Homo-oligomer: A and B are copies of this chain.
Amino acid sequence: MKKLINGVERIVYEQLEGLALAHPQLLRVAFDPHYIVRSRPPAANKVAVISGGGSGHEPLHSGFVGYGMLDGACPGAVFTSPTPDQIVACVQAVPRAAGVLLIVKNYTGDVLSFEMAAELLHMEGVTLRTVVVDDDVAVKDSLYTAGRRGVGATLMVEKIAGGAAEAGCGLDQVAELARRTNLGSRSMGLALSSCTVPAVGAPTFALAADEIEIGIGIHGEPGQKRLPCVTLDEMTALLAGAILDDGPYARVEREWSPQQGEWVECTLVNPPFAAGDRVIALVNGMGGTPLSELYAAYRSLVYFCRGRDIQIVRNLVGPYVTALEMAGFSITLTRVDDEMLHFWDAPVHTPALRWRM
Protein backbone atom coordinates (compact mmCIF):
# COMPACT_ATOMS: atom_id res chain seq x y z
CA MET A 1 0.00 0.00 0.00
CA LYS A 2 1.39 3.38 -1.09
CA LYS A 3 -0.26 6.43 0.44
CA LEU A 4 0.71 9.87 1.73
CA ILE A 5 0.47 8.83 5.37
CA ASN A 6 2.70 8.50 8.40
CA GLY A 7 0.88 5.57 9.92
CA VAL A 8 -2.57 4.06 9.71
CA GLU A 9 -3.59 5.07 13.23
CA ARG A 10 -2.70 8.75 12.70
CA ILE A 11 -4.40 9.32 9.34
CA VAL A 12 -7.56 11.16 10.31
CA TYR A 13 -5.79 13.16 13.02
CA GLU A 14 -3.07 14.40 10.65
CA GLN A 15 -5.48 15.12 7.80
CA LEU A 16 -7.70 17.18 10.09
CA GLU A 17 -4.74 19.02 11.56
CA GLY A 18 -3.58 19.83 8.02
CA LEU A 19 -7.03 21.10 7.10
CA ALA A 20 -7.08 23.37 10.15
CA LEU A 21 -3.54 24.63 9.48
CA ALA A 22 -4.51 25.46 5.89
CA HIS A 23 -7.76 27.26 6.78
CA PRO A 24 -7.42 28.81 10.25
CA GLN A 25 -9.68 31.70 9.23
CA LEU A 26 -12.49 29.27 8.39
CA LEU A 27 -12.44 26.41 10.84
CA ARG A 28 -10.87 24.84 13.87
CA VAL A 29 -10.57 21.20 14.80
CA ALA A 30 -11.04 19.58 18.20
CA PHE A 31 -9.69 16.12 18.97
CA ASP A 32 -10.87 13.29 21.21
CA PRO A 33 -13.63 13.38 20.25
CA HIS A 34 -12.86 14.75 16.79
CA TYR A 35 -15.04 17.48 15.35
CA ILE A 36 -14.70 20.59 13.22
CA VAL A 37 -16.44 23.90 13.80
CA ARG A 38 -16.15 27.37 12.32
CA SER A 39 -13.35 29.45 13.77
CA ARG A 40 -15.62 32.52 13.85
CA PRO A 41 -18.81 31.44 15.60
CA PRO A 42 -21.98 32.49 13.78
CA ALA A 43 -24.68 34.63 15.37
CA ALA A 44 -26.33 33.13 18.46
CA ASN A 45 -29.75 33.18 16.77
CA LYS A 46 -28.68 31.24 13.68
CA VAL A 47 -29.90 27.68 13.12
CA ALA A 48 -26.91 25.34 13.37
CA VAL A 49 -26.33 22.93 10.48
CA ILE A 50 -24.26 19.88 11.40
CA SER A 51 -23.25 16.84 9.42
CA GLY A 52 -20.68 14.09 9.53
CA GLY A 53 -19.85 10.58 8.51
CA GLY A 54 -16.91 8.36 7.80
CA SER A 55 -13.65 9.92 6.64
CA GLY A 56 -12.35 9.14 3.16
CA HIS A 57 -15.01 11.13 1.26
CA GLU A 58 -13.25 14.49 1.42
CA PRO A 59 -13.99 17.28 0.84
CA LEU A 60 -17.33 15.98 2.21
CA HIS A 61 -17.97 16.94 5.08
CA SER A 62 -14.99 18.71 6.63
CA GLY A 63 -14.35 20.82 3.53
CA PHE A 64 -17.87 22.24 3.70
CA VAL A 65 -17.54 23.83 7.14
CA GLY A 66 -17.70 27.61 6.91
CA TYR A 67 -19.89 30.57 6.13
CA GLY A 68 -23.07 29.64 4.30
CA MET A 69 -22.81 25.89 4.69
CA LEU A 70 -21.98 23.76 7.75
CA ASP A 71 -21.45 24.96 11.30
CA GLY A 72 -19.82 21.71 12.25
CA ALA A 73 -18.78 18.30 10.97
CA CYS A 74 -18.01 15.03 12.75
CA PRO A 75 -15.51 12.82 10.93
CA GLY A 76 -15.39 9.15 11.84
CA ALA A 77 -12.48 6.86 11.07
CA VAL A 78 -12.07 6.01 7.38
CA PHE A 79 -15.41 4.69 6.06
CA THR A 80 -16.66 4.38 9.66
CA SER A 81 -19.57 6.22 11.25
CA PRO A 82 -18.84 8.95 13.78
CA THR A 83 -19.69 8.10 17.38
CA PRO A 84 -22.58 9.74 19.25
CA ASP A 85 -20.15 11.53 21.59
CA GLN A 86 -18.49 13.24 18.62
CA ILE A 87 -21.85 14.51 17.44
CA VAL A 88 -22.90 15.64 20.92
CA ALA A 89 -19.59 17.46 21.46
CA CYS A 90 -19.83 19.16 18.07
CA VAL A 91 -23.36 20.40 18.69
CA GLN A 92 -22.36 21.61 22.15
CA ALA A 93 -19.54 23.64 20.57
CA VAL A 94 -21.82 25.75 18.33
CA PRO A 95 -24.56 28.30 19.02
CA ARG A 96 -27.73 26.17 19.18
CA ALA A 97 -30.39 28.37 20.72
CA ALA A 98 -32.24 28.58 17.38
CA GLY A 99 -32.13 24.83 16.94
CA VAL A 100 -29.96 22.35 15.11
CA LEU A 101 -30.39 20.54 11.82
CA LEU A 102 -28.56 17.22 11.54
CA ILE A 103 -27.84 16.08 7.97
CA VAL A 104 -27.22 12.33 7.89
CA LYS A 105 -26.28 10.09 4.99
CA ASN A 106 -28.41 6.95 4.97
CA TYR A 107 -26.05 4.30 6.29
CA THR A 108 -27.18 2.17 9.20
CA GLY A 109 -24.26 3.15 11.43
CA ASP A 110 -24.56 6.86 10.69
CA VAL A 111 -28.30 6.87 11.28
CA LEU A 112 -27.87 5.04 14.61
CA SER A 113 -25.12 7.38 15.84
CA PHE A 114 -27.03 10.51 14.92
CA GLU A 115 -30.24 9.14 16.51
CA MET A 116 -28.42 8.34 19.74
CA ALA A 117 -26.81 11.78 19.75
CA ALA A 118 -30.17 13.39 19.05
CA GLU A 119 -31.76 11.63 22.02
CA LEU A 120 -28.96 12.78 24.31
CA LEU A 121 -29.20 16.34 23.02
CA HIS A 122 -32.99 16.39 23.31
CA MET A 123 -32.58 15.48 26.97
CA GLU A 124 -30.38 18.55 27.34
CA GLY A 125 -33.12 20.69 25.86
CA VAL A 126 -31.63 21.18 22.39
CA THR A 127 -34.22 21.47 19.62
CA LEU A 128 -33.16 19.27 16.72
CA ARG A 129 -34.39 18.15 13.37
CA THR A 130 -32.83 15.37 11.31
CA VAL A 131 -32.81 14.94 7.55
CA VAL A 132 -31.58 11.66 6.11
CA VAL A 133 -30.12 11.81 2.59
CA ASP A 134 -30.85 8.78 0.39
CA ASP A 135 -30.32 9.72 -3.22
CA ASP A 136 -28.48 6.72 -4.73
CA VAL A 137 -30.80 4.91 -7.14
CA ALA A 138 -28.32 2.08 -7.82
CA VAL A 139 -29.36 -0.47 -5.21
CA LYS A 140 -32.34 -0.93 -2.94
CA ASP A 141 -30.32 -2.01 0.08
CA SER A 142 -26.56 -2.29 0.40
CA LEU A 143 -23.95 -3.82 2.65
CA TYR A 144 -24.25 -0.84 4.96
CA THR A 145 -27.73 0.47 4.29
CA ALA A 146 -31.37 -0.28 4.68
CA GLY A 147 -32.88 1.66 1.81
CA ARG A 148 -30.98 3.85 -0.59
CA ARG A 149 -27.51 5.15 0.18
CA GLY A 150 -26.76 8.82 0.71
CA VAL A 151 -24.16 10.12 -1.75
CA GLY A 152 -23.79 13.24 -3.91
CA ALA A 153 -27.04 14.92 -2.89
CA THR A 154 -25.52 15.44 0.56
CA LEU A 155 -23.61 18.36 -0.92
CA MET A 156 -26.79 19.88 -2.35
CA VAL A 157 -28.62 19.47 0.97
CA GLU A 158 -25.74 20.97 2.96
CA LYS A 159 -25.41 23.96 0.60
CA ILE A 160 -29.10 24.79 0.33
CA ALA A 161 -29.88 24.23 4.03
CA GLY A 162 -26.66 26.06 4.98
CA GLY A 163 -27.55 29.00 2.80
CA ALA A 164 -31.03 29.20 4.32
CA ALA A 165 -29.67 29.02 7.87
CA GLU A 166 -27.10 31.73 7.12
CA ALA A 167 -29.90 33.94 5.75
CA GLY A 168 -31.72 33.70 9.08
CA CYS A 169 -34.43 31.15 8.26
CA GLY A 170 -35.90 29.27 11.20
CA LEU A 171 -35.35 25.59 11.95
CA ASP A 172 -38.61 24.41 10.38
CA GLN A 173 -37.88 26.18 7.12
CA VAL A 174 -34.25 25.04 7.00
CA ALA A 175 -35.27 21.43 7.68
CA GLU A 176 -38.06 21.61 5.11
CA LEU A 177 -35.65 22.93 2.47
CA ALA A 178 -33.15 20.20 3.30
CA ARG A 179 -35.84 17.56 2.95
CA ARG A 180 -37.15 19.06 -0.28
CA THR A 181 -33.62 19.06 -1.68
CA ASN A 182 -33.19 15.39 -0.86
CA LEU A 183 -36.60 14.54 -2.28
CA GLY A 184 -35.65 16.29 -5.52
CA SER A 185 -32.31 14.50 -5.84
CA ARG A 186 -31.14 11.25 -7.39
CA SER A 187 -27.61 9.97 -7.97
CA MET A 188 -25.71 7.06 -9.42
CA GLY A 189 -22.01 6.30 -9.89
CA LEU A 190 -19.58 3.91 -11.47
CA ALA A 191 -16.03 2.82 -10.73
CA LEU A 192 -13.08 2.13 -12.98
CA SER A 193 -10.97 0.97 -10.04
CA SER A 194 -11.22 0.11 -6.38
CA CYS A 195 -9.83 2.07 -3.47
CA THR A 196 -7.64 0.79 -0.65
CA VAL A 197 -8.81 1.34 2.91
CA PRO A 198 -5.62 2.13 4.85
CA ALA A 199 -6.40 -0.15 7.79
CA VAL A 200 -6.97 -3.04 5.36
CA GLY A 201 -3.99 -2.34 3.14
CA ALA A 202 -5.33 -4.02 0.00
CA PRO A 203 -7.93 -2.99 -2.60
CA THR A 204 -11.54 -3.51 -1.48
CA PHE A 205 -12.44 -5.30 -4.71
CA ALA A 206 -10.79 -6.23 -7.98
CA LEU A 207 -11.89 -5.24 -11.46
CA ALA A 208 -10.44 -6.78 -14.60
CA ALA A 209 -8.32 -4.61 -16.87
CA ASP A 210 -11.28 -3.73 -19.08
CA GLU A 211 -14.07 -3.91 -16.50
CA ILE A 212 -16.13 -1.21 -14.79
CA GLU A 213 -18.67 -1.48 -11.97
CA ILE A 214 -22.01 0.29 -12.39
CA GLY A 215 -23.83 1.58 -9.33
CA ILE A 216 -20.84 1.43 -7.00
CA GLY A 217 -21.11 2.88 -3.49
CA ILE A 218 -18.74 5.42 -1.99
CA HIS A 219 -17.13 2.80 0.25
CA GLY A 220 -16.42 0.34 -2.52
CA GLU A 221 -19.52 -1.67 -1.63
CA PRO A 222 -20.96 -3.57 -4.59
CA GLY A 223 -23.07 -1.94 -7.27
CA GLN A 224 -25.56 -3.30 -9.77
CA LYS A 225 -23.37 -5.08 -12.27
CA ARG A 226 -20.01 -5.23 -13.97
CA LEU A 227 -19.53 -4.49 -17.64
CA PRO A 228 -16.67 -4.33 -20.07
CA CYS A 229 -15.55 -0.69 -20.26
CA VAL A 230 -17.87 1.27 -22.54
CA THR A 231 -17.64 4.76 -24.01
CA LEU A 232 -18.22 7.81 -21.86
CA ASP A 233 -21.51 8.54 -23.61
CA GLU A 234 -22.67 5.02 -22.82
CA MET A 235 -21.58 5.39 -19.17
CA THR A 236 -23.50 8.65 -18.93
CA ALA A 237 -26.59 7.07 -20.47
CA LEU A 238 -26.43 4.25 -17.91
CA LEU A 239 -26.18 6.63 -14.95
CA ALA A 240 -28.35 9.53 -16.09
CA GLY A 241 -30.86 7.13 -17.64
CA ALA A 242 -31.29 5.29 -14.34
CA ILE A 243 -31.71 8.64 -12.56
CA LEU A 244 -34.27 10.06 -14.97
CA ASP A 245 -36.19 6.80 -15.40
CA ASP A 246 -36.47 6.11 -11.67
CA GLY A 247 -40.10 6.06 -10.57
CA PRO A 248 -41.59 7.53 -7.41
CA TYR A 249 -39.61 6.35 -4.40
CA ALA A 250 -41.30 6.06 -1.01
CA ARG A 251 -39.30 5.98 2.19
CA VAL A 252 -40.06 6.06 5.90
CA GLU A 253 -38.40 8.96 7.73
CA ARG A 254 -38.06 9.00 11.50
CA GLU A 255 -38.35 12.28 13.39
CA TRP A 256 -37.99 12.72 17.15
CA SER A 257 -41.13 13.90 18.83
CA PRO A 258 -40.34 15.83 22.02
CA GLN A 259 -44.05 15.68 22.95
CA GLN A 260 -44.23 11.92 22.68
CA GLY A 261 -40.64 11.34 23.74
CA GLU A 262 -40.11 8.89 20.93
CA TRP A 263 -39.33 8.59 17.24
CA VAL A 264 -42.37 8.97 15.00
CA GLU A 265 -42.41 7.82 11.42
CA CYS A 266 -43.72 9.47 8.31
CA THR A 267 -43.61 8.37 4.69
CA LEU A 268 -41.97 10.65 2.16
CA VAL A 269 -42.07 10.23 -1.59
CA ASN A 270 -39.40 11.35 -4.06
CA PRO A 271 -41.39 12.17 -7.19
CA PRO A 272 -39.68 11.17 -10.44
CA PHE A 273 -38.08 13.66 -12.80
CA ALA A 274 -40.23 15.02 -15.61
CA ALA A 275 -39.62 16.88 -18.84
CA GLY A 276 -39.20 20.59 -18.17
CA ASP A 277 -37.58 20.10 -14.75
CA ARG A 278 -34.83 22.53 -13.83
CA VAL A 279 -31.90 20.81 -12.11
CA ILE A 280 -28.55 21.41 -10.51
CA ALA A 281 -26.14 18.85 -11.97
CA LEU A 282 -23.16 17.48 -10.05
CA VAL A 283 -20.57 15.53 -12.00
CA ASN A 284 -18.57 14.13 -9.14
CA GLY A 285 -15.14 12.53 -9.28
CA MET A 286 -14.61 9.53 -7.01
CA GLY A 287 -11.08 10.65 -6.06
CA GLY A 288 -8.74 9.22 -8.69
CA THR A 289 -10.25 10.61 -11.89
CA PRO A 290 -8.73 13.60 -13.72
CA LEU A 291 -10.76 16.80 -13.77
CA SER A 292 -10.47 16.90 -17.56
CA GLU A 293 -12.37 13.60 -17.83
CA LEU A 294 -15.08 14.93 -15.51
CA TYR A 295 -15.59 17.88 -17.85
CA ALA A 296 -15.98 15.46 -20.75
CA ALA A 297 -18.57 13.63 -18.63
CA TYR A 298 -20.37 16.92 -18.02
CA ARG A 299 -20.52 17.51 -21.78
CA SER A 300 -22.00 14.07 -22.23
CA LEU A 301 -24.57 14.74 -19.49
CA VAL A 302 -25.61 18.06 -21.06
CA TYR A 303 -26.47 16.33 -24.34
CA PHE A 304 -28.27 13.52 -22.53
CA CYS A 305 -30.39 15.96 -20.51
CA ARG A 306 -31.20 18.01 -23.60
CA GLY A 307 -32.60 14.86 -25.17
CA ARG A 308 -34.92 14.45 -22.18
CA ASP A 309 -35.88 18.13 -21.91
CA ILE A 310 -34.18 18.44 -18.52
CA GLN A 311 -32.73 21.92 -18.06
CA ILE A 312 -29.43 22.14 -16.17
CA VAL A 313 -29.49 25.57 -14.52
CA ARG A 314 -26.39 25.18 -12.32
CA ASN A 315 -23.52 22.73 -12.33
CA LEU A 316 -20.59 21.58 -10.26
CA VAL A 317 -17.82 19.47 -11.76
CA GLY A 318 -15.06 18.00 -9.60
CA PRO A 319 -14.23 15.57 -6.79
CA TYR A 320 -16.65 16.46 -3.98
CA VAL A 321 -18.00 13.18 -2.54
CA THR A 322 -15.13 10.76 -2.98
CA ALA A 323 -14.09 7.24 -2.07
CA LEU A 324 -10.38 7.71 -1.33
CA GLU A 325 -8.48 7.23 -4.62
CA MET A 326 -11.19 5.31 -6.47
CA ALA A 327 -11.35 6.10 -10.21
CA GLY A 328 -14.82 6.76 -11.56
CA PHE A 329 -17.58 9.30 -11.32
CA SER A 330 -21.13 9.81 -10.23
CA ILE A 331 -23.95 12.01 -11.42
CA THR A 332 -26.39 13.78 -9.12
CA LEU A 333 -29.39 15.71 -10.40
CA THR A 334 -31.40 17.87 -8.03
CA ARG A 335 -34.72 19.33 -9.12
CA VAL A 336 -34.85 22.94 -7.96
CA ASP A 337 -37.39 25.69 -7.54
CA ASP A 338 -36.63 29.40 -7.18
CA GLU A 339 -36.23 29.24 -3.41
CA MET A 340 -33.74 26.35 -3.55
CA LEU A 341 -31.83 28.09 -6.33
CA HIS A 342 -31.69 31.26 -4.28
CA PHE A 343 -29.99 29.46 -1.39
CA TRP A 344 -27.74 27.48 -3.75
CA ASP A 345 -26.51 30.78 -5.20
CA ALA A 346 -26.11 32.41 -1.79
CA PRO A 347 -22.56 33.31 -0.69
CA VAL A 348 -20.45 30.45 0.62
CA HIS A 349 -16.92 30.37 1.97
CA THR A 350 -15.59 26.95 2.92
CA PRO A 351 -12.36 25.16 2.00
CA ALA A 352 -14.00 23.32 -0.90
CA LEU A 353 -16.84 25.59 -2.05
CA ARG A 354 -16.48 29.33 -2.31
CA TRP A 355 -18.41 31.91 -4.24
CA ARG A 356 -19.52 35.52 -3.92
CA MET A 357 -17.06 35.95 -1.03
Q: In the complex, are the beta carbons of A329 and B4 less than 8 A apart?
A: yes
Interface residues of A in 219-263 (CB under 8 A from B): 229, 231-233, 235
Contacts beyond the supplied A2-B327, A4-B294: 11 A-B pairs with Cβ under 8 Å? A2-B210, A4-B289, A14-B296, A15-B299, A18-B298, A18-B299, A21-B298, A58-B291, A59-B291, A288-B288, A355-B357
Interface residues of A in 55-113 (CB under 8 A from B): 55-56, 58-59, 63
> Chain A interface secondary structure, helix, strand, loop or mixed?
mixed
How many residues of A sit at the interface, in one of the four size bands? 35 or more
Given the interface pairs A15-B293, A297-B18, the reply to whether A4 lies near B315 with Cβ below 8 Å is no
Closest to A229 in B: B2
Q: In the complex, are the beta carbons of B295 and A19 less than 8 A apart?
A: yes
Of the candidates B21, B296, B322, B355, the one whose C-beta lies within 8 Å of that of A11 is B296
Q: Which residues of B contact A300 (CB under 8 A)?
A: 6, 14, 18
Among A19, A295, A315, A354, chain B packs the most CB atoms within 10 A around the CB of: A295
Interface residues of A in 304-357 (CB under 8 A from B): 315, 317, 319, 322, 324-325, 327, 329, 352, 354-357
* Bound complex: CA A356 to CA B352 (Å): 14
Of the candidates B233, B329, B356, the one whose C-beta lies within 8 Å of that of A357 is B356
Q: In the complex, are the beta carbons of B4 and A232 less than 8 A apart?
A: yes
4 closest A-B pairs by beta carbon, nearest first, are A18-B299, A18-B295, A4-B293, A58-B292
User: Which positions in A face B, CB cutoff 8 Å?
Assistant: 2-7, 11, 14-19, 21-22, 55-56, 58-59, 63, 192-193, 209-212, 229, 231-233, 235, 287-300, 302, 315, 317, 319, 322, 324-325, 327, 329, 352, 354-357
Given the interface pairs A290-B287, A293-B5, A325-B327, the reply to whether A315 lies near B22 with Cβ below 8 Å is yes
Q: Which residues of B contact A294 (CB under 8 A)?
A: 4, 18
Closest to A320 in B: B291
CB pairs A–B below 8 angstroms (8 shown): A2-B211, A6-B232, A15-B299, A16-B295, A17-B299, A18-B294, A287-B290, A291-B352
* Bound complex: CA A336 to CA B324 (Å): 34
Q: In the complex, are the beta carbons of A317 and B22 less than 8 A apart?
A: yes
Of the candidates B2, B63, B233, B289, the one whose C-beta lies within 8 Å of that of A6 is B233
